[in-house]
């Protein structure tokens, strides 16, 4: 399928950045009749649609040679690249010496044949390559990209942990902070955010996203894009976002990295596409294709994804970059017998930039000469790249500006510390001797700190830790020793074991330290490299012999606080029944130790809520809260509740473990308690004609009273869930449709308010149309996906 050179029209009137020209865009995407849409979908990023930018793009394009055009479509690192041979032994590739030799990236830059580079770190390096490009014939600047996923030098929690804050304003602040640091090194393009929905904790890249829910994922996607790009891409402290991985990479079979994905169009649109769409609506300048095949077609050569949905339905006007060597990997997928076919399929599907495959620059000339590829397709790809470069202001300001940031910024530490504090999820806090273990009180004069992650600076930065420096990190041991010294107490430290070891050599010292202390803090979990790309795991238990160490220490009878460091949910079934206090702390970043100390000692009350369900056993995966009821549900109509009686064998269940999560989506405790009451809907009946308009907002208002019933000020994340019964397509038992962070003093009450409109009430029918039907709705408001306070209304 060939892509039209004008897949969407650019209006003469500049739109507000991140908005659509017409409120009826939802209708066009869903195929609704009677839409307000007239003609094509407006582009999502107004800056890329600027008539002035378009004029400059066309003027430059007319001057470019074929080699210079192709140069804009290729990407290398600073080492150049030696192209791998496709797995099928492509004879044409093997016979061509040019494709087998090392490419000199600097030489390409000097010739104006290098459009972008990845992971070139440091202002000195980026300036050297940029100077070479700016001295080429047409002076077209290079766009420098990097995997800045959760901070550049000052590192904040991994995205899965950050999402547990449910704080989109904070995410936006942090994203902007990362941009301000990286741009001082010449980096103007982030391969972030990763917005893949992940419902399988075995998948290592779960750590890079916002978890299992589409609504929350979309909210986080918008926050990242707006933080990175701001309101003006040309500002010195703005970067272009590259939203990844398009699409549905998080649904890889068996949670195995690079594996295939297969699903219905309904599930694709209802669950997996919303975060990408939200990012496009927020004005994302670029998109990255994913490694996986979707329904048999690799994403990097998938015109349904790239052209039909991304460009025609959503009006995306930026460019798409492949993931690392993904164009070459089309031969591994088996849909291309040679490099030329892989190039043709990827480029015509809508992948403008070839990351590190070295296919576009070697194969496009041959394809053009053989009339197998049109120059119009090449020109449109070049246009898309140039638009982003002009919008970023690279032609005016090609070099890094300001003083380069080479270490964590002192002024940024309070923000990343707050982010870590908000990300921690208190999973359990049972009383010992009549008092909850956490927060640690003044009576605690000695703490045994045990575990391989207690003093591991490198591990605190997590996967994709930007350009972090380990000496910048405050470890838990450092912070805890400082705090206990200030209190007149002391810390007994024992390493215990390594993260993934079967040696018990350190067990005796750990047990001895525990026996001498008032309370034990155990820092256990994964290494940072056990999650992230190529970090899939078949078992989700604590690695190595950490579980045995935990059991030995618990057997001492001392109160134990278990801090779980990880980039994914782990199986904590034994701990949940034997350890009084458990907190998921992810990989918290530069200020890890200080943030942990603040929460452990009660300076800050934990407020994080889970964004992925924690399983009881790995055999439950994939596991998510908004499952379908089936014809034989294992419980009441709402699967968050246990069976109410009757024959429980011939239902959808396991024989050896309950269906529900050990710790469900949205769950998280505090140092106080909260109560919900008085859930109310503004109307009992909603006319179908009113509800079924794609631009309809605030159709039903849901309110509830939230009260802090405890003894200290704290923050609660109030959550709204919706269920739709009677629809033409089976609907989940409940789905998140709203949330807000609320801080209350002891005894204080506040009304929380949520608005439901077409986006929240609609679903995709069997024709992939987004619709509202005459059905019955139940809404719940509470502190997790197991909220019980509800109200009802009908659409008629």
d(C-alpha 353, C-alpha 304), whole Å? 18
Beta carbons of 554 and 405 less than 8 angstroms apart: no
Buried b or exposed e, range 655-689, using 16+ CB within 10 angstroms: eeeebbbbbbbbbbbbbbebebeebebbeeebeee
Cβ-Cβ contacts under 8 Å for 128 (sequence gap 6 or more):
106
Angle between helices 168-182 and 214-229 in degrees, nearest 10: 40
Residues 6 or more apart whose CB falls under 8 angstroms from that of 555 comprise: none
Length of the chain as a residue count? 796
Longest dimension (CA), the chain: 82
CB atoms within 10 A of CB 780: 24
HEC sequence for 390-433: HHCCCCCCCCCCCCCCCCCCHHHHHHHHHHHHHHCEEEEECEEC
Alpha helix locations (H) across 587-733?
A: 592-600, 688-691
Cα pseudo-dihedral 353, 359, 360, 363, rounded to 10: -170
Query: How many Cβ atoms from other residues are within 10 Å of residue 328's Cβ?
Result: 28
Using an 8 Å Cβ cutoff, are 282 and 221 in contact? yes
Any idea which residue has 């290729």 for tokens?
Answer: 74
Identify whether 338 is a catalytic site residue. Answer: no
H helix and E strand count, the chain: 25, 28
d(CA 286, CA 267) in angstroms, rounded, equals 24
User: Of the listed 323, 338, 472, 660, which one is catalytic?
Assistant: 323
Catalytic (active-site) positions? 323
């Amino acid at each position: 399928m060939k892509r039209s050179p004008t897949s969407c029209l650019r209006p003469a009137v500049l739109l507000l950045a991140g908005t659509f020209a017409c409120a009826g865009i939802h209708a066009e995407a869903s195929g609704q009749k009677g839409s307000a849409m007239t003609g094509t979908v407006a582009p999502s990023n107004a800056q890329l649609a600027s008539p002035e930018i378009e004029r400059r793009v066309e003027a430059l394009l007319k001057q470019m040679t074929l080699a210079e055009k192709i140069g804009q479509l290729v990407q290398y690192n600073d080492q150049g690249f030696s192209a791998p041979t496709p797995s099928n032994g492509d004879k044409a590739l093997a016979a061509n010496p040019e494709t087998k030799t090392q490419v000199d990236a600097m030489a390409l830059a000097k010739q104006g044949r290098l459009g972008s580079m990845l992971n070139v770190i440091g202002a000195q390096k980026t300036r050297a390559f940029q100077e070479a490009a700016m001295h080429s014939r047409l002076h077209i600047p290079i766009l420098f990209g990097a995997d800045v996923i959760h901070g550049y030098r000052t590192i904040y929690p991994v995205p899965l942990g950050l999402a547990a804050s449910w704080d989109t304003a904070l995410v936006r602040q942090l994203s902007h902070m990362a941009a301000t640091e990286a741009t001082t090194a010449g980096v103007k393009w982030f391969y972030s955010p990763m917005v893949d929905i992940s419902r399988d904790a075995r998948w290592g890249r779960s750590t890079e996203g916002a978890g299992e829910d589409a609504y929350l994922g979309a909210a986080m996607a918008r926050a990242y894009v707006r933080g990175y790009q701001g309101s003006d891409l040309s500002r010195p402290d703005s970067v272009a976002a590259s939203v990844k991985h398009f699409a549905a990479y998080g649904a890889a079979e068996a949670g195995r990295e690079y594996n295939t994905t297969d699903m219905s169009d309904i599930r694709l649109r209802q669950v997996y596409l919303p975060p990408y769409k939200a990012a496009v609506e927020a004005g994302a300048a670029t998109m990255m294709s994913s490694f996986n095949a979707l329904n048999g077609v690799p994403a990097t050569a998938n015109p349904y994804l790239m052209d039909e949905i991304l460009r025609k339905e959503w009006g995306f006007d930026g460019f798409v970059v492949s993931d690392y060597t993904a164009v070459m990997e089309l031969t591994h997928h088996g849909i291309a017998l040679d490099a030329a076919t892989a190039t043709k399929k990827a480029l015509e599907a809508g992948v403008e930039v070839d990351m590190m495959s070295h296919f576009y620059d070697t194969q496009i000339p041959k394809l053009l000469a053989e009339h197998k590829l049109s120059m119009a397709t090449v020109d449109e790809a070049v246009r898309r790249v140039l638009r982003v470069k002009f919008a970023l202001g690279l032609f005016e300001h090609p070099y890094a500006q300001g003083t380069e940031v080479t270490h964590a910024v002192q002024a940024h530490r309070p923000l990343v510390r707050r982010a870590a504090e908000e990300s921690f999820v208190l999973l359990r806090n049972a009383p010992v001797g009549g008092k909850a273990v956490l927060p640690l009180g003044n009576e605690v004069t000695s703490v045994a700190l045990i575990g391989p992650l207690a003093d591991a600076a490198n591990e605190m930065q997590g996967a994709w830790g930007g350009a972090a420096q380990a000496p910048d990190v405050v470890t838990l041991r450092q912070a805890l020793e400082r705090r206990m010294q200030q209190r007149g107490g002391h810390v007994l430290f024992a390493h215990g074991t390594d993260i993934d070891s079967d040696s018990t050599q350190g067990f005796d010292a750990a047990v001895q330290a525990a026996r001498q202390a008032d309370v034990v803090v155990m820092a256990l979990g994964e290494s940072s490299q056990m999650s992230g790309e190529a970090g899939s795991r078949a078992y989700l238990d604590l690695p190595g012999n950490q579980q045995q160490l935990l059991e030995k220490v618990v057997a001492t009878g001392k109160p134990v606080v278990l801090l779980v460091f990880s980039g994914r949910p782990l199986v904590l079934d034994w701990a949940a029944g034997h350890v009084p206090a458990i907190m998921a702390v992810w990989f918290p970043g530069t200020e890890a130790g200080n943030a942990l100390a603040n929460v452990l000692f009660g300076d800050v009350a934990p407020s994080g809520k889970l964004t992925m369900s924690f399983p009881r056993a790995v055999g439950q995966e994939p596991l998510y809260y908004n499952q379908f009821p089936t014809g034989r549900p294992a419980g009441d109509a709402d699967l968050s509740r246990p069976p109410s009686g009757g024959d429980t064998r011939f239902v959808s269940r396991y024989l050896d473990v309950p269906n529900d999560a050990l710790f469900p989506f949205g769950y998280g405790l505090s140092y106080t308690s909260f109560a919900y009451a008085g859930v109310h809907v503004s109307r009992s009946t909603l006319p179908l004609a009113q509800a079924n308009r794609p631009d309809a907002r605030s159709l039903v208002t849901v309110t509830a009273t939230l009260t802090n019933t405890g003894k200290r000020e704290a923050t609660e994340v109030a959550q709204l869930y919706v269920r739709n019964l009677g629809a033409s397509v089976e609907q989940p038992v409940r789905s998140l449709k709203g949330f807000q962070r609320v801080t209350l003093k002891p005894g204080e009450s506040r009304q929380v308010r949520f608005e439901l409109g077409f986006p929240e009430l609609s679903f995709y029918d069997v024709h992939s149309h987004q619709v509202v039907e005459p059905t019955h709705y139940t809404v719940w408001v509470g502190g997790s996906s197991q909220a019980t306070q509800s109200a009802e209304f009908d659409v008629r």
